[in-house]
Amino acid sequence: MDTIEKLRMLAADSQYDLACACGSNKDNRRTRGLDGKWLYPVTLPSGGYSILLKTLLSNSCSNDCRYCPLRSDTDVRRCTLLPEEVAAVFMEYVRRRKVFGLFLSSAVIGSPDHTMERLNTVARLLRGRHEYRGYIHLKIIPGASDEAVREAISLSTAVSLNIETPGKRHYDLLSHRKDYDRDIIRPIKLMSALTAKGERYSKVKCTTQFIVGASEETDSEIIRYMGGLYDRLNFNRVYFSAYQKGLGNPGIPGEKRLAEAPEDVFIREHRLYQVDFLMRKYGFGQGEIPVDNRGNLLLDKDPKQVWADNHPEFYPVRLNTADKEALLRVPGLGPETVRTILKIRRDRRILCVEDLRIRGKRAATIRRYAVFE
């Protein structure tokens, strides 16, 4: 295969890793370019979106991750790009102003550190030979040495290592070759330490991803780990990728669950993203997220709405006097609308929901939980 054919295949194989872009609305979903490569949006520091070229370096994997279609025992067409090939193709995209940056991951080629050396070589070529100073997001390979992780962070704008499951018990159902604490948690903690406030690489962003539904995890377990990733490790984003039927080994728990309720896992992924926004943007603590007696989110109702219905004593919220934190607890009000309310209140009172230019069902929802006194 020539470079472009390999890139087309490896870019397609990278589609299940969402740890570079949320994909939660029409503006920031991944799209496929005319040449078959997946292009992913990334939020710019100044606002708005731009596009990342996203690809694997190789899909020839030595690991046995039972949820992954590229695991070592599957019969798929394999190929590997040389670091020089990735760097050359990417710089051509940059010269043509087709992309804003690079998201580079890989299957495990032999060993974690051998793979990290190749990933880091791409970044070294871009930073050194090509004098590229733009956005590079490198995937940290599970089990990589401290030295390899440190070098990747020194070369990157952002790094990610996918946590996959909330805890060792669930992870052991999906992989027999990797050790959760040694290969996942240890490098995640190192990433956090190296990018902590006041450290040399404090500007490098750290993200991770859960595979939702492949193992036997509950939503409350995922939420507890999310709280730790945000509050103790200061990660910038947590992403969720719904396990899809037929991608993994037929014997994993996710296949049985999907056979019973195939659509639930995608609704569940959506609810977890809503929880993520509640924790990052709305001031909710992990202990405030409402789950059922099995530890799972309700699939038929927004978790913010569930919290509101469970706390009638908190309402109604007075839109003309309540603080920002209270306003964010009103169903139908998001961060942008709350900012608008606070801005309007500096000049005049808000008399009705129509003053906020909100109509229809959303306006009716706000009226149930807020007053304009």
pLDDT 10s digits, 236-281: 999 998 888 878 888 888 888 777 777 788 899 999 999 999 999 9
Residues 238 and 342 in one domain: no
SS3 373: coil
Q: Where are the alpha helices (DSSP H) in the chain?
A: 3-13, 83-95, 112-127, 146-155, 168-171, 186-194, 219-231, 253-260, 264-281, 303-310, 324-327, 335-345, 360-369
367 and 221 in one domain?
no
Whether 45 and 158 map to the same domain: the answer is yes
* Average pLDDT of the chain, as a whole number: 89
Element holding 32 (H helix, E strand): strand 31-32
Query: 120 with 161: CB under 8 angstroms?
Result: no
Whole-angstrom distance, CA of residue 326 vs CA of residue 369? 11
**Cβ pair 142, 184 in contact under 8 A:** yes
In this model, does residue 305 exceed pLDDT 90?
yes
Q: Which structural domain, as residue segments, surrounds residue 328?
A: 311-371
CA atoms within 13 A on the CB side of 113: 5
Q: Indicate if 195 and 326 belong to the same structural domain.
A: no
Inter-residue contact 6 to 57 (CB < 8 Å): no
Identify the pLDDT of residue 258.
Answer: 77
| Together in a domain, 88 and 222 | yes
What is the DSSP annotation of 256-286?
HHHHH-TTHHHHHHHHHHHHHHHHHHS---G
Has residue 305 been placed in a domain? no
Domain final position from 249, 273, 290: 249
Looking at the fold, whether 235 and 321 belong to one and the same domain comes out as no
Report the alpha-carbon distance of residue 165 to residue 152 in Å, rounded. Answer: 23
Flag whether pLDDT at 39 surpasses 60.
Answer: no
Q: How many CB atoms lie within 10 A of CB 347?
A: 6
Give the CA angle between residues 204, 210, 216 to the nearest 5°.
155
Last residue of a domain, one of 209, 225, 249: 249
Say if residue 221 is in the same domain as residue 88: yes
Is 50 exceeded by the pLDDT of residue 301?
yes
Q: In terms of pLDDT, which residue wins out, 74 or 82?
A: 82
The tokens for 210 are 């859960």
Number of domains present in the structure of the chain:
2
What digits encode the pLDDT tens for the residues 320-350? 999 999 999 999 999 999 999 999 999 999 9
Which of these, 37, 46, 36, 43, lies nearest to 21 by C-alpha position? 43
* CA distances to 154, 246, 314 from 194, in Å: 10, 38, 41
In the chain, the amino acid numbered 117 is: E
Helix axes 253-260, 264-281, angle to 10 degrees: 110
Confidence of residue 19 (pLDDT cuts 50, 70, 90): low
Residues 327 and 200 reside in one and the same domain = no
Task: Lowest mean pLDDT of 84-98, 118-132, 280-294, name the range.
Answer: 84-98
- For residue 366, give the CATH number of its domain: 1.10.150
The structure tokens 């020089």 sit at 84
Using H for helix, E for strand and C for coil, what is the string for 230-251? HHCCCCCEEEEEECCCCCCCCC
Measured between alpha carbons, how far is 110 from 128 in angstroms, rounded to an integer? 26
Tokens standing for 373? Answer: 């006194």
Residues 200 and 98 in one domain: yes
Write down which residue in 249, 277, 300 finishes a domain.
249
Higher pLDDT, 362 or 258: 362
* Amino acid in position 351: L
Q: Name the one residue in this structure whose structure tokens are 């306006």.
A: 363
Q: What is the mean pLDDT of residues 33-59?
A: 62
Peptide bond into 316 cis (omega under 30): yes
Instruction: Please tell me whether residues 60 and 205 are part of one structural domain.
Output: yes
In a domain, 80, yes or no: yes
CATH number where 207 lies: 3.20.20.70
Q: How is residue 157 written in tokens?
A: 């704008």
Q: Cα separation of 178 and 159, whole Å?
A: 20
| Per-residue DSSP letter, 336 | H
Question: Per the domain annotation, does 362 fall within a domain?
Answer: yes
Residue 244, domain member (yes or no): yes
Mean pLDDT along residues 75-95: 92
